Structure 1
Amino acid sequence: MATAELVLGLLSRDPAHGYDVKRGHDAWFPDGRPLAFGQVYTTLGRLERDGLVEVVDKTSGGGPDRTVYALTDKGRKHLADWLSDPVPPAWGSADEVLRKLVAAIRTGGDAAAFLARQRASHLRRIRELRETPTEDDPTSPLVREYIVAHLDADLRWLDSALEHLSEQKETRP
């Protein structure tokens, strides 16, 4: 995930401190993994080092220091360039489901049982996403639709893999 660029996007409207960046990210992607505070501050530090953000205010009101960051012109250009660049298809990357399946087959594990469990997990997640109301903003339904479409594509692949395993089992002596 392009965490740095998402942080730039979150700062594109107004300067903010790390807590607001984290809260904004989690609001943008309510069905995804929350952004860790450590990752926020590490990313902000790198962005500042690279001249993409700058510190515009530091306050401490009895608690921890609050450093407020803003985009620089270089940061705005970087964000615009990132947004205009299409994402390359990930045809060559093997995700964990594929890695586990190959490992199960190669080590004599129960690949069919693994695929069945994975399929059930995907179906549960799709059901959760469809039954939980979306946030009241224009992007939440788009994010959810994207996740469901990918899970659905994975389900079709899982079914195909199960069929392939069954066919191989039938043709073996």
Structure 2
Amino acid sequence: MSTAHVLLGLLAAGPRHGYDLKREHDERLPQAKPLAFGQVYATLGRLERDGLVIESGQDQDGGPERRSYELTDLGREKLDEWLASTEPPAPYVTSTLFNKVVVALLAAGVDRARDYLIAQRDAHMSRMRELTAAKSAVDATVGDVVAADYALGHLDADLRWLRTTLTRVADLQKEVTA
């Protein structure tokens, strides 16, 4: 995820303080890693330096001074370009799950790999149940449901791969013991 682009998208609705951007990010992207305040302000500094946002005001409201930011025309243009571009599928397998299975097969053997695959399958199914329940919660927002659907899709793909790999590991074990 490009934090800069997400902040530009949040600013598309109008000027915001860094604090408001962080809070809105965490609310609107509920399954994403929460942003740190330092990350928000560092990103706003780069966006301002690059002419994509400008300071639109300051206020204190009884607390520390807070600067508001708003999109520039160039910022809106960059946001539109980002939204219009598609994300290329990842060219490499970059999954800790995949890496652990391969290393378990190479370093620890078929039994260890099988045990890991079974434990991981159980963990995936547990997480899927949690996400399904979260989608059904009375207070679930559209953002919660969309995020849960996204995570469930990825977990389902992993689960299919885990099942296929368990079958392949069982076949390998038959070959080794024959």
TM-score (norm 1): 0.90
1:128 is aligned to 2:133: no
Which residue number in structure 1 is paired with residue 166 of structure 2? Answer: 162
Query: Is the contact between residue 134 and residue 140 of structure 1 (CA under 8 Å) also seen in structure 2?
Result: no
Indicate whether 1:67 and 2:71 are aligned: no
Measured in 1, the distance between the counterparts of 2:129 and 2:73 equals: 43
Aligned mates of 1:30, 1:139 — CA distance in 2 = 7
Q: Distance in 2 between matches of 1:27 and 1:121?
A: 26
Does structure 2 retain, via aligned residues, the 8 Å contact 1:54–1:70? yes
Q: Which range moved further: 35-44 or 67-76?
A: 35-44
Taking the aligned partners of 1:135 and 1:15, their CA distance within structure 2 comes to 28
**CA 1:134–1:37: 2 relative to 1, 3 Å:** farther
Residues 1:27 and 2:27 aligned together = yes
Q: d(CA) in 2 for partners of 1:138 and 1:49?
A: 34
Residues 6-54 of structure 1: per-residue CA shift (max 9 Å, x gap)? 1110110111111111111111122332222222122111111111111
Pairwise CA distance, 1:55: 1.2
CA 103–45 in structure 1, closer or farther in 2 if over 3 Å, else same: farther
Measured after TM superposition, the shift of residue 142 of structure 1 is 2.3
Percent of aligned pairs sharing the same letter: 44
Pick from 149, 153, 160 the counterpart of residue 153 of structure 2: 149
C-alpha separation in 1, matches of 2:176 and 2:121? 25
Distance 1:50 1:44 in 2: 10
SS of the aligned residue for 2:30 comes to coil
Aligned residues: 173
Residues 48 and 134 (structure 1 numbering): CA distance in 2 closer, same or farther, change over 3 Å?
Answer: farther
- The AA in structure 1 aligned to 2:160 is R
In the superposition, the TM-score normalised over structure 2's length comes to: 0.88
3-state SS of the aligned residue for 2:68? strand
Which deviates more from structure 2 when the two are superposed, residues 71-80 or residues 88-97? 88-97
The amino acid that maps onto 2:118 is A
Moved over 3 A (4+): 134-140
Cα 1:145–1:78, aligned 2, differ >3 Å: closer, same or farther? same
Would the alpha carbon gap of residues 128 and 62 (structure 1) be closer, same or farther in structure 2, given more than 3 Å must change? Answer: same
One-letter code aligned to 1:80: D
1:32, 1:3 → 2: CA distance? 11
- Structure holding more helix per residue: 2
Distance 1:137 1:76 in 2: 27
Over aligned residue pairs, what C-alpha RMSD do you find?
1.9
Alignment partners' CA distance in 1, 2:9 and 2:17: 14
Task: Identify the range of structure 1 (94-103 vs 151-160) with the bigger mean alpha-carbon deviation.
Answer: 94-103
Of 106, 113, 116 in structure 2, the residue corresponding to residue 114 of structure 1 is 116
